[in-house]
Structure 1
């Protein structure tokens, strides 16, 4: 349970009393300067508070020590380890201490200096190197007014010349040490993606992790985990942005979506962006936008900035495995377990051999049964699905077997396969009963369908990456064949993850 306690030990009382009497000097001297700002580690090196602040760990516990100025500290104690490195996401205690007591608290802990796993990441060949420390990169990629320090770091308050739509962004940033500052005045900046959507930069080390703190999407969403490192540590943002989509009349058809990694950990997973951040430079329209690094009056520094243009429309046509998306993409994800899950769900072992021990760890997935498929699925749907599975059924785990063939070559292969499958029976269509539609909508939202499928009322709050789309059902099934599938999905898909709901006789219809 989160609680804040101000501790005062008898020994500290005695020290304070003796100091007043002039007998001794406190071991930790308070920094008497007001609103101290340290821009580099060298400047802060002799500051007593800076020497104490940071991250500490021992078996089963992590501590973040936040300097508040004048020998005052906030200590956040985590059960299991540090955020992103063992914390159980439940046990958390906050206390306020002075310097001597902090040193007593962490005496049996190891002080650690974590590094982002993407620190120093090299740009892919297709990326635009926006800033590599050279004057040339500033002149070529940033509008007039961009400033660089003597040691080759980019300064806050600048906008790129280049503009981007769908893209991946890598940026490294360093927040100043401002122990006496509070709230939004504590090392504030931000990166405006496309000049529209702000990912906040702030010294929120040890704080709650809010939308206006590091890792947050300003005014839109808190980070899933506060992964902010101590001030004057180099940190990384790795951002994937999928632009808002517009029709030919420039009417928005889809909101932008963003995934954000702070120091290598996903803190925003496929988040929908309904509108630009207040104060953004550019309105939301079909045009690409620049990178803007905000000047909030604090000396934030940047380096190694590159942007890779992407086409996330094609990239999103990937298999959706909800179990992986929900449990193996967030903070503290077990990537090895996630890999084993994908090996089974994508049926990799159908073509690739694995050793005995690994084989025991993989739950294989059997393909759907195709006997009598002509009675269940419309022949035209079969033709289109075999030709391009992901276009017809986004998220399907069926691979596009004929993607490398020309259109004519595809036709020569796919049409015979379709005729063969359709020959197993004839699908019987019947008209829709409007009275049953209303009842069916109610059951869809009450029975549990919405746990895996987006609600049909358009009010989905589930990330698209964990939702199995229900598209083109009216083209695929007849009412009777869909009802039969809902009654017993495992008869057709023996390895299906969809449960049998034991519906009443008429409920599937």
Structure 2
């Protein structure tokens, strides 16, 4: 008959087991316990100055051709390209990218006409728009000393979010938008489980801070989400000769 293990012996065995376990597990109180070594971020080459394209970006407009674009009726884009910029052809219809995108970072530079017609005010001056996934409009407008409704000025999410500040430059000067877009998510039934989000930097100034979009842009009425997957970038022909250049995008 085996003798029962004494309490002292049992405590010794448990102590030895706990010592081995402690050696196998890192001390949660050490700096190393909160260090993550993987996954390692992908290495890219950033641009040399603000607005320069990083190495992992896709060129949408290189200042030479509209090979990446078509008109909204799927015919060749008719907007004229000159001196590194593409300019809205009034009546030439909106243009959109051939490729579609999900979450992304978009850089685009734009310029309203230098010559201001005194008869043109408000929404009639330097008006265009950048439609994200062809659904959500970031307003382009000459908002330098030009009063209009606040959710329709430059830097607004049109008819939804007022910009934090008006960072507009004078007409005829180049301006820059850096747009960070998170696409909406839908469940199997087509219901929204997460809305679209936009962060906008206008001329180096934060003007939209991770705002939730209520749905696709509507000129009249309230927006309503409908399920979809991806979409192109669309530039608007609003009848004003607004110019664009240095357009690139990064998939996120």
Partners of 1:284 and 1:128 in 2: CA distance: 28
Aligned to 1:110: none
Cα deviation for residue 229 of structure 1 reads 0.5
Root mean square deviation, CA, Å: 2.3
Contact map agreement 1:119 1:235 (CA 8 A) in 2: no
Equivalent position of 2:126 in the other structure: 187
1:199 to partner: Cα distance: 0.8
The residue number in structure 2 matching 1:170 is 107
Give unmatched runs, 5+ long, in structure 2: 1-47, 89-93
Distance 1:134 1:203 in 2: 25
CA distance in 2, matches of 1:119, 1:206: 29
How far residue 287 of structure 1 moved from its aligned partner, in angstroms, is 1.1
SS state at 1:211 partner = helix
Match of 2:183 in 1: 243
Q: 1:224 aligns to what?
A: 164
Q: Distance in 1 between matches of 2:49 and 2:87?
A: 19
1:127 aligns with 2:65: no
The structure in which a higher percent of residues are strand is 2
CA deviation map 1:245-281 (0-9, x unaligned): 111332211111100011010000010101110159x
Q: Which residue of 1 aligns with 2:67?
A: 139
CA distance in 2 between counterparts of 1:263 and 1:306 reads: 16
Distance 1:229 1:307, change over 3 A: same
Q: Deviations over 1:154-178 (max 9, x none)?
A: 1223111111111010000010132
The one-character-per-residue Cα deviations of 1:82-115 (angstroms, maximum 9, x if unpaired) are xxxxxxxxxxxxxxxxxxxxxxxxxxxxxxxxxx
Displacement of 1:141 after TM fit? 4.1
- Number of matched residues? 190
Task: Return closer, same or farther for 1:229/1:269 CA change in 2, 3 Å cut-off.
Answer: same
In the alignment, which residue of structure 2 is the partner of 1:266? 206
- Whole-angstrom CA distance in 2 between matches of 1:125 and 1:250: 36
CA distance in 1, matches of 2:95, 2:50: 22
User: Is this contact kept in 2: 1:190–1:294, CA < 8 A?
Assistant: yes
Distance 1:155 1:207, change over 3 A: closer
Given the alignment of the two structures, is residue 256 of structure 1 paired with residue 188 of structure 2, yes or no?
Answer: no
| Bigger fraction of residues in helix | 1
CA contact (8 A) 2:64 2:81 kept: no
Question: Which portions of structure 1, spanning 4 or more consecutive aligned residues, are displaced by more than 4 angstroms?
Answer: none
What is the TM-score with the length of structure 2 in the denominator?
Answer: 0.70
Structure 1 unpaired stretches of 5+: 1-117, 311-509
Q: What do the CA deviations read for 1:291-322 (whole angstroms, capped 9, x no partner)?
A: 11111100000000011111xxxxxxxxxxxx
Q: In structure 2, which of residues 211, 214, 232 is the aligned counterpart of residue 290 of structure 1?
A: 232
Q: Larger RCO: Structure 1 or Structure 2 (Cα < 8 Å, ≥ 6 residues apart)?
A: 2
